[in-house]
């Protein structure tokens, strides 16, 4: 059963169509990437899922049916424009937000203890939120999202404002709760984060679905006829290679149409070269994204 | 219910624990106390209690009857008889007396007196001598009649239903105390509903709103905030009431006449019945304003639309006193925003017919419920608009149920 099922939703604000016939589903326990540039309609889609906005058309099913008040307790949401009470001590703010998710105070207190330790915020518990740095506030916001042990987490741009160490920390945390079986929808425009974390993605642009499905399949689908090769010895000229380009420490060989990658491997072996890396050259999400957007822009509307 | 309670508790403690609130609560009685004490001290220090002299050529004061002892808040002023004007003048120049009167021989004929002084004497001093003179003019009459003439009449106002009673100095207290308390309560309401508006604007500004409404329903949120803030206002009123009562108890010990300041239970009941729905209504309207505007400054400009009509009865205080059952009084009693203060003021001057009390109360309660409903709707319209005001056109659409659409603001 999908945790979230979005069926053909559209939403306009005035003349701007923010979401245009978007359909996708997120399976239970999945770490799903919602991608797109700024202004693509990601946040609006999330707000529709959470029943903050009503869609103009289409329907939503969350945790097995329409959204209702009781389900709010089972969902953790971290908005992109983060919000914590600024004038209130950190601990009090987080405990209050947990109480709004119906978490027993004692339980919330105990969990909070663990999270404050994990995120290295213990020393700041009595400090007012506004006295914390941006990164600390971001971590506090993540705690607020997790404190009630939600079944479904919707998290908008979780890494913005974090330094590399904290980015790692948050990533590990997301992977850990993902392993525990929590469904996570992560919305971001940072493609490389999604490549690292997500199994399936939805890419939207101008409110429309551009790509949807298994990340590996999508990359395969966009892979050109090329292989990435690294050998200990200098790479000699090979037959069947249309052209090559140096690609990080490896070389990307773009093959002639009739050549199968297997033939190149055989030739490398036959020439007694020490092959350290040989793989089908898959495009990065960034590259795919640029391809998709360029293609869309070149097509008449 | 648990969440509602959580919102109420949070909103209440958050504001009550604030330093600003404590200052607001305690500064008002403190100022009243300081002003009163300074006033009393000034009167006491400045009051001239030196004797007033007199020279009597008419013979009226030849064998004077002293004034009966009176209930003075200030010190009594002795009256000294002088043989002649020279000795009186010497005493005046020496500063032993503050002034002296000369009662001429023909006083019976033309009633003229002469007053001599260096600096204008206090009014108590002059009144004291005039009363003394009057008393002795009537020396032929029996003592009780004389005293009655001097003391004047103590008017007891008693309506046929005996609901409104007052007399003498207490009339003043009975009239002013309810009006003053009404105003104080309104100040408390405005303060706490101002906090409410500020809180809503802040939540919009710091984006907490999105977290909140994905945790509780907008109506729960709204109700929790309104109830929490009413608690804040009631705390403020309660503290003032207790301090006021303590002060009054002290005054009643000094002089029992102050017991008239105790509002009678009927009027107190009416005041509570009026103030409570008014509180809900004003708070809800303030929250709605908070949800529509982008920053607190803008909000406080619009709040005038609410606060001005509420205070209107004070501007028409004179008309309400003169014609507590006139058309204006009636109209203001039935308009929700002006009703609370109009009714409280009127109740001090007249006996309001039961049907009017009921009508006014029903109008207020319905308006309070309506304001809450409206605020909930506007709240939903405005809660996610960052840096954008909710257009009046959209607010008006609320009243067209078929076309009601929840619409968000600027978004990605």
Report the complex ipTM: 0.78
Q: B199 to chain A: nearest residue by CA? A: A85
Mean per-residue pLDDT over chain B, rounded: 80
Question: Which has the closest alpha carbon to A18: B378, B397, B409?
Answer: B409
The answer, yes or no, to whether residue A16 has pLDDT greater than 90, is no
Cβ-defined contact of A79 to B6 (cutoff 8 Å) = no
pLDDT band with cut points at 50, 70 and 90 for residue B166: low
> Which pLDDT value is given to residue B165?
53
Beta strands in A41-182 (DSSP E): 57-62, 75-78, 152-156
Q: How far is CA B64 from CA A154, B136, B227, B354, in A?
A: 98, 6, 68, 56
Which of 143-182 (A) contact B at CB < 8 A? 144
Q: Which residue in A89, A96, A150, A160 has the most chain B C-beta atoms within 10 A of its own C-beta, making it the best mutation to test that interface?
A: A96
For chain B, the residue count is: 412
Among A66-75, B312-321, B324-333, the minimum mean pLDDT is found in B312-321
* Chain B residues closer than 8 Å to A47 by CB: 384, 408, 411
Distance from the A245 Cα atom to the nearest Cα atom in chain B, whole angstroms: 38
Question: Which has the closest alpha carbon to A99: B235, B199, B372, B211?
Answer: B211
Distance from the B391 Cα atom to the nearest Cα atom in chain A, whole angstroms: 13
d(CA B140, CA B135): 10
The answer, yes or no, to whether residue B264 has pLDDT greater than 80, is no
Residues B147 and B164 in one domain: no
Cβ-defined contact of A42 to B412 (cutoff 8 Å) = yes
* Chain B residues closer than 8 Å to A98 by CB: none
Q: Which two tokens stand for residue B252?
A: 């009643």
DSSP state of A128: B
Beta bridge partner(s), residue B100? B53, B116
Q: Put residue A66 in one of left, alpha, beta given phi > 0 → left and psi -120 to 50 → alpha.
A: beta
Residues B349 and B269 in one domain: yes
Q: B17 to chain A: nearest residue by CA? A: A88
> Which pLDDT value is given to residue A221?
82
Count the alpha carbons within 13 Å of B31 in the hemisphere toward its beta carbon. Answer: 6
Has residue B334 been placed in a domain? Answer: yes
> Is residue B192 classed exposed, middle or buried when 0-12, 13-18 and 19+ CB atoms within 10 A define those classes?
buried
> Which pLDDT value is given to residue A202?
93
Residues B381 and B306 in one domain: yes
Segment B168-187 shows an average pLDDT of: 70
Has residue B344 been placed in a domain? Answer: yes
Cβ-defined contact of B206 to A85 (cutoff 8 Å) = yes
Distance from the A180 Cα atom to the nearest Cα atom in chain B, whole angstroms: 23
Q: B1 to chain A: nearest residue by CA? A: A102
* Chain A residues closer than 8 Å to B210 by CB: 52, 77, 79, 81, 83
pLDDT band with cut points at 50, 70 and 90 for residue B410: very low
- Residue A13, C-beta contacts closer than 8 angstroms, at least 6 positions apart: B407, B408, B409, B410, B411
Where is the domain boundary, B130, B152, B174?
B152
Among A225-239, B69-83, B350-364, the minimum mean pLDDT is found in B69-83
DSSP state of A89: B
Where is the domain boundary, B101, B131, B152?
B152
Residues B201 and B306 in one domain: yes
- Decide: helix, strand or coil at residue A174: helix
Asked if A41 reaches chain B (Cβ–Cβ under 8 Å), the answer is: yes
Distance from the B213 Cα atom to the nearest Cα atom in chain A, whole angstroms: 8
Distance from the B6 Cα atom to the nearest Cα atom in chain A, whole angstroms: 7
Cβ-defined contact of B411 to A47 (cutoff 8 Å) = yes
For chain B, the first-to-last Cα distance in angstroms comes to 35
Asked if A88 reaches chain B (Cβ–Cβ under 8 Å), the answer is: yes
Q: Which two tokens stand for residue B105?
A: 């021989």
d(CA B196, CA B207): 16
Distance from the B226 Cα atom to the nearest Cα atom in chain A, whole angstroms: 17
Has residue B45 been placed in a domain? Answer: no
Positive/negative CA dihedral, B79, B83, B86, B90: negative
* Chain A residues closer than 8 Å to B382 by CB: none
pLDDT band with cut points at 50, 70 and 90 for residue B191: confident
Residues B312 and B372 in one domain: yes
Q: Which two tokens stand for residue B181?
A: 């308390």
Question: Which has the closest alpha carbon to B354: B343, B365, B364?
Answer: B343
Segment B75-93 shows an average pLDDT of: 86
Segment A19-33 shows an average pLDDT of: 94
Q: Which two tokens stand for residue A85?
A: 């009470």
Q: Which two tokens stand for residue A119?
A: 């995120």
Are A46 and A81 contacting, i.e. CB atoms less than 8 angstroms apart?
no
> Which pLDDT value is given to residue B386?
60
d(CA B392, CA B49): 66
Distance from the A88 Cα atom to the nearest Cα atom in chain B, whole angstroms: 8
Q: Which residue in A19, A72, A95, A100 has the most chain B C-beta atoms within 10 A of its own C-beta, making it the best mutation to test that interface?
A: A100
Has residue B246 been placed in a domain? Answer: yes
Each residue of A93-137: pLDDT tens digit?
A: 999 999 999 999 999 999 999 999 988 999 999 999 989 988 888
The answer, yes or no, to whether residue B95 has pLDDT greater than 60, is yes
d(CA A232, CA A230): 7
List the single residue in A73, A83, A101 with the smallest CB-CB distance to B207.
A83
Among A179-193, B181-195, B280-294, B303-317, the minimum mean pLDDT is found in B181-195
Distance from the B162 Cα atom to the nearest Cα atom in chain A, whole angstroms: 53
Q: A40 to chain B: nearest residue by CA? A: B412
Q: Residue for token digits 């204008």? A: B120
Of these ranges, B4-13, B120-129, B216-225, B294-303, the one predicted with the greatest mean pLDDT is B4-13
d(CA B261, CA B170): 7
d(CA A288, CA A33): 15
Distance from the A87 Cα atom to the nearest Cα atom in chain B, whole angstroms: 9
Among A95-104, B202-211, B226-235, the minimum mean pLDDT is found in B202-211
- How big is chain B by its Cα radius of gyration, in Å? 30
Count the alpha carbons within 13 Å of B41 in the hemisphere toward its beta carbon. Answer: 6
Are B127 and B77 contacting, i.e. CB atoms less than 8 angstroms apart?
no
Question: Which has the closest alpha carbon to B222: B206, B200, B205, B201?
Answer: B200
Residues B189 and B239 in one domain: yes
Residues B330 and B232 in one domain: yes
- Decide: helix, strand or coil at residue A5: strand
Asked if A115 reaches chain B (Cβ–Cβ under 8 Å), the answer is: no
List the single residue in A44, A72, A82 with the smallest CB-CB distance to B215.
A72
Cβ-defined contact of A83 to B206 (cutoff 8 Å) = yes
The CATH number given to whatever domain includes residue B89 is 3.40.190
Higher pLDDT among residues B411 and A223, named by residue: A223
Which of 14-33 (B) contact A at CB < 8 A? 14
**How many separate domains does chain B show?**
2
Q: Which two tokens stand for residue B377?
A: 């709707």
Residues B360 and B245 in one domain: yes
> Which pLDDT value is given to residue A89?
92
The rounded percent of chain A whose pLDDT value lies above 70 is: 99
Q: Which domain holds residue B81?
A: 51-152
Positive/negative CA dihedral, A121, A125, A126, A129: positive
* Chain B residues closer than 8 Å to A42 by CB: 412
The answer, yes or no, to whether residue A51 has pLDDT greater than 60, is yes
Residues B117 and B206 in one domain: no
* Chain B residues closer than 8 Å to A100 by CB: 3, 6-7, 212, 215-216
Cβ-defined contact of A75 to B206 (cutoff 8 Å) = no
Q: A41 to chain B: nearest residue by CA? A: B412
Cβ-defined contact of B208 to A83 (cutoff 8 Å) = yes
Are A212 and A202 contacting, i.e. CB atoms less than 8 angstroms apart?
yes
Positive/negative CA dihedral, B37, B40, B44, B47: positive
Question: Which has the closest alpha carbon to B381: B225, B205, B204?
Answer: B204
For chain A, the residue count is: 301
Residues B120 and B254 in one domain: no
> Which pLDDT value is given to residue A98?
94
Each residue of A167-178: pLDDT tens digit?
A: 888 888 899 999
d(CA B138, CA B148): 11
Could you give phi then psi for residue A184, rounded to 5 degrees?
-130, 130
Positive/negative CA dihedral, A216, A219, A221, A224: negative
Residues B21 and B109 in one domain: no
B150: Cα separation from own chain's centroid:
33
Helix axes B218-254, B168-205, angle to 10 degrees: 150
Of these ranges, A241-250, A266-275, B157-166, the one predicted with the greatest mean pLDDT is A266-275
Segment B154-159 shows an average pLDDT of: 60
Cβ-defined contact of A77 to B211 (cutoff 8 Å) = yes
Asked if A107 reaches chain B (Cβ–Cβ under 8 Å), the answer is: no
pLDDT band with cut points at 50, 70 and 90 for residue B167: low
- Residue A182, C-beta contacts closer than 8 angstroms, at least 6 positions apart: A29, A150, A151, A152, A153
Higher pLDDT among residues B14 and B49, named by residue: B14
Asked if A52 reaches chain B (Cβ–Cβ under 8 Å), the answer is: yes
Question: Which has the closest alpha carbon to A33: A145, A189, A146?
Answer: A189
Each residue of B107-126: pLDDT tens digit?
A: 888 888 889 988 888 777 78
Cβ-defined contact of A13 to B206 (cutoff 8 Å) = no
Q: How far is CA B227 from CA A122, A136, B219, in A?
A: 33, 33, 12
Residues B30 and B120 in one domain: no
Are B75 and B113 contacting, i.e. CB atoms less than 8 angstroms apart?
no
Could you give phi then psi for residue B280, rounded to 5 degrees?
-60, -45
Q: How many Cβ atoms from other residues are within 10 Å of residue B140's Cβ?
A: 7
Q: Residue for token digits 């609130």? A: B21
d(CA A36, CA B134): 99
Cβ-defined contact of B214 to A75 (cutoff 8 Å) = yes
Has residue B144 been placed in a domain? Answer: yes
Where is the domain boundary, B152, B174, B201?
B152
Cβ-defined contact of A100 to B411 (cutoff 8 Å) = no
CA angle A113, A140, B294 (to 5 degrees): 140
d(CA B252, CA B247): 9
Segment B228-253 shows an average pLDDT of: 85
Has residue B44 been placed in a domain? Answer: no
DSSP per position, A22-37: EEEEEETT-EEEEE--
Are B175 and B265 contacting, i.e. CB atoms less than 8 angstroms apart?
no
* Chain A residues closer than 8 Å to B407 by CB: 13, 53
The answer, yes or no, to whether residue B73 has pLDDT greater than 60, is no
Has residue B78 been placed in a domain? Answer: yes
Has residue B412 been placed in a domain? Answer: no
Q: What per-residue string of b and e applies to A86-118 under the rule 16 or more CB within 10 Å gives b?
A: bebbbbbbbbbbbbbbbbeeeebeebbeebbee
């Amino acid at each position: 059963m999908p945790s979230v099922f979005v069926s053909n939703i559209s939403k306009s604000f005035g003349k701007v169509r923010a979401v245009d016939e978007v359909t996708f589903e997120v399976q239970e326990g999945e770490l799903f990437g919602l991608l797109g540039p700024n202004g693509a309609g990601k946040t609006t889609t999330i707000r529709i899922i959470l029943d903050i906005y009503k869609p103009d058309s289409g329907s939503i099913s969350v945790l097995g049916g329409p959204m209702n008040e009781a389900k709010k307790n089972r969902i953790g949401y971290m908005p992109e424009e983060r919000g914590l009470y600024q004038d209130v001590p950190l601990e009090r703010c987080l405990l209050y937000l947990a109480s709004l998710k119906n978490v027993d105070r004692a339980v919330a207190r105990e969990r909070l203890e663990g999270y404050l330790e994990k995120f290295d915020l213990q020393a700041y518990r009595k400090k007012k939120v506004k006295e914390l740095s941006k990164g600390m506030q971001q971590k506090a916001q993540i705690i607020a999202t997790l404190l009630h042990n939600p079944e479904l987490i919707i998290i908008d741009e979780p890494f913005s404002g974090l330094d590399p160490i904290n980015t790692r920390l948050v990533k590990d945390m997301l992977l850990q709760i993902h392993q525990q079986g929590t469904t996570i929808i992560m919305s971001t425009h940072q493609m490389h984060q999604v490549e690292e974390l997500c199994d399936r993605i939805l890419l939207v642009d101008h409110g429309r679905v551009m790509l949807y499905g298994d990340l590996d399949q999508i990359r395969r689908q966009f892979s050109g006829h090329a292989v990435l090769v690294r050998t200990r010895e200098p790479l000699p000229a090979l037959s069947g290679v249309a052209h090559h380009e140096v690609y990080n420490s490896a070389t990307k060989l773009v093959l002639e149409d009739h050549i199968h990658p297997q033939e190149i491997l055989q030739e490398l072996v036959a020439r007694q070269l020490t092959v350290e890396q040989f793989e089908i050259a898959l495009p990065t999400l960034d590259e795919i994204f640029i391809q998709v957007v360029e293609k869309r822009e070149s097509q008449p509307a | 219910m648990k969440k509602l309670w959580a919102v109420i508790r949070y909103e209440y403690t958050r504001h009550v624990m604030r330093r600003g609130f404590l200052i607001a609560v305690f500064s008002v009685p403190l100022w009243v106390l300081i002003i009163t004490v300074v006033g009393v001290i000034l009167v006491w220090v400045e009051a001239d209690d030196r004797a007033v002299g007199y020279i009597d050529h008419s013979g009226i004061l030849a064998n004077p009857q002293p004034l009966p002892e009176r209930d003075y808040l200030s010190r009594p002023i002795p009256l000294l008889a002088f043989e002649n004007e020279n000795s009186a003048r010497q005493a005046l120049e020496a500063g032993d007396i503050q002034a002296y009167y000369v009662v001429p021989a023909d006083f019976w004929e033309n009633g003229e007196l002469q007053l001599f002084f260096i600096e204008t004497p206090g009014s108590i001093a002059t009144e004291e001598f005039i009363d003394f003179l009057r008393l002795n003019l009537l020396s032929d009459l029996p003592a009780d009649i004389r005293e009655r003439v001097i003391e004047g009449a103590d008017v007891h106002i008693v309506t046929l239903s005996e609901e409104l009673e007052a007399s003498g100095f207490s009339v003043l207290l009975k009239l002013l105390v309810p009006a003053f308390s009404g105003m104080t309560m309104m100040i408390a309401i405005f303060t706490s509903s101002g906090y409410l508006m500020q809180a809503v604007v802040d939540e919009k500004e710091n984006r907490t709103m999105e977290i909140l409404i994905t945790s509780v329903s907008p109506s729960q949120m709204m109700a929790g905030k309104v109830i929490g803030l009413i608690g804040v206002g009631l705390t403020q009123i309660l503290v003032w009431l207790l301090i006021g009562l303590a002060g009054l108890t002290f005054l009643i010990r000094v002089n029992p006449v102050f017991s008239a300041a105790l509002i009678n239970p009927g009027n107190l009941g009416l005041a509570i019945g009026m103030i409570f729905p008014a509180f809900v209504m004003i708070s809800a309207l303030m929250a709605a304003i908070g949800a529509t505007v982008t920053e607190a400054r803008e909000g406080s400009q619009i709040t005038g639309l609410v606060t001005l009509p509420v205070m209107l009865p004070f501007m028409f205080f004179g008309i309400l006193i003169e014609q507590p059952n006139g058309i204006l009084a009636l109209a203001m009693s039935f308009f929700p925003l002006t009703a609370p203060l109009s009714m409280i003021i009127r109740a001090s001057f007249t006996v309001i017919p039961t049907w009017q009390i009921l009508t006014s109360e029903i109008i207020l309660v319905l308006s309070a419920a309506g304001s809450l409903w409206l605020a909930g709707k506007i709240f939903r319209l405005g809660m996610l608009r960052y840096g954008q005001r909710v257009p009046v056109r959209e607010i008006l659409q609320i009243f067209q149920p078929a076309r009601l659409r929840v619409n968000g603001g600027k978004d990605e």
